[in-house]
Amino acid sequence: MSIAGGLSLLALFSPRLSQTQTSAEHSEEIASGKRIYESCIGCHRVGSDSSSGPNLIGLGYGEIVSSLHEYKSYKKVNIMMNQVALSLTDSQIRSVARYLSSQRSAF
Ligand code: HEC
């Protein structure tokens, strides 16, 4: 293989490297996000028609964070979600979003 070929291979793999480095802090966020999600399951049950809230698995990190901030600031109004969002700190919002978006591929 030429040197140039080797270098471009390296470039191909380096983004993965940085992903593994951040995944340690992500896994901590994911673990606490999972605990927070326990309080959401009553309304956001996966694969259940009877749940009163939409399925959250499959939403992206950014969508969940901005949705929760919109509920928190009453930009979006839903009596239940406004209360839920107000009870969450910004870091809890990030954690639960991290957890939910990490579950995407499992379904
Ligand atoms: C008491 C029931 C209830 C609980 C508990 C609850 N939710 Fe909700 N949630 C809802 C309902 C109902 C909606 C749909 C609101 C609407 O259509 O405006 C919703 C909508 C949402 C949305 C927007 C989804 C979308 O597709 O736009 C997000 C994100 C969300 N909830 C996150 C959470 C999180 C995270 C928790 C736990 C910390 C939680 N919810 C707990 C009832 C609940």
- Give the distance (Å) from ligand 1 centre to CA of residue 89: 16
pTM of the full structure:
0.80
Query: Per-domain residue ranges for the chain?
Result: 25-106
The finding on whether 62 has its CB within 6 A of some atom of ligand 1 is no
Q: How many helices (H) and strands (E) does the chain have?
A: 4, 0
Taking residues 25-39, what's their average pLDDT? 92
Does residue 10 or residue 53 have the better pLDDT? 53
Testing ligand 1's pocket by substitution, the residue of 37, 44, 72 carrying the most ligand atoms inside 8 A of its CB is: 44
Residue 107 has pLDDT above 50, yes or no: no
The finding on whether 87 has its CB within 6 A of some atom of ligand 1 is no
Highest mean predicted confidence (pLDDT) among 24-28, 38-42, 62-66: 62-66
- Domain covering 25-106 in this structure, CATH number: 1.10.760.10
Place of tokens 């009163």: 52
Partners of 59 in beta bridges: 57
